[in-house]
Chains A and B, each alone.
Chain A
Amino acid sequence: MTVLTLVTIGLLAGVIGAALGVGGGIVMVPGMVVLLAVAQHTAQGTSLVVIVPTAIVATAVHARAGRVDLTLAMWLALGGVAGGVLGAWTALGLDGLVLRRLFAVVLVFIAIRMLRSTRQSTPKAAESGPDA
């Protein structure tokens, strides 16, 4: 049952990521916490691990189409690696319940933003490729 739930969460994350350009993490983290009672910290760590191979595949597809600005990606990653470790440390320093509530707030903001963007333009996501 857990396996089936996990594959379903993954499927949803993949479909939404590819079609809407929203990252899979935003689906995987709440999916694991709400449906499988995984602890918030563990859900986030697990989500990050899954994002890596997914992003590699997506990047390969984009790179073949010549859409990746590699120099810019390198600069982004330079700051991103530092920020990522700092963010992870911050999250690990927080109480699980506090982190979960913060995540809920972020989720509401993302939902509102997506609702707004669907009102402005309809088939905007069509030009984006697979997403992590």
Chain B
Amino acid sequence: MALAGSLPHMPRPLIAVLLGMAAGFFSGMFGIGGGLVMVPGLVLFLSLPQHRAHATSMAAIVLVAAAAAVPFAASGEVEWSHTVWLLSGSLIGAVVGARAISRIPATWLARSFVVLALVAAARLGLGS
């Protein structure tokens, strides 16, 4: 990346704050974690190894997602009854997923995700 060369002159905390801000905006704007922005940023600009970047971004996401959720909750845009069921499913899924890594090829999983994502994107983008 072209940016990587110019950034090392900036202090690391400043890079982290700016990266957090960009990821946080993305997170609040689209209701997702923000790891999609933070992890590559940590690897690219702060030279963290992939697994460390992943873990560090996860810790930051706790606060980022909580902060981003507040305006939504204040506007009544949280379906609280849904959160319980989603959460129970995702906690089981995380355990299963962590074990499945060794058995199901990641490529196969990734391609299934791509197909699902494209179908969902078509439904979201074309529906009225």
Contacts and interface: CB of A to CB of B under 8 A. Distances in A.
Interface in B24-65: 24-36, 38-39, 42, 46, 48, 50-52, 54-65
B59 A49 contact: no
B97 interface: yes
B77 A76 contact: no
Interface in B95-125: 95-98, 100-102, 104-107, 109-111, 113-114, 117-118, 120-125
B91 interface: yes
A51 B65 CA distance: 7
B13 interface: yes
Nearest to A78: B17
Contacts of A70: 59
Contacts of B7: none
B31 to A, nearest CB: 3
Nearest to A31: B120
A16 B27 contact: no
Contacts of B94: 14-15, 17-18, 54, 57-58, 130-131
B16 A62 contact: no
A108 B113 CA distance: 11
A87 B104 contact: no
A52 B34 contact: no
Interface residues of A, number: 105
B77 A14 contact: no
B41 to A, nearest CB: 9
B104 A19 contact: yes
B2 interface: no
A100 B124 contact: yes
Given A16-B109, A54-B87, A110-B36, A115 B114 contact: yes
B4 interface: no
Contact of A48 (B48, B68, B89): B68
Given A76-B20, A82-B24, 15 more contacts: A11-B93, A34-B124, A46-B31, A49-B83, A51-B33, A56-B62, A58-B58, A68-B52, A73-B60, A79-B21, A83-B20, A107-B118, A111-B121, A129-B51, A129-B54
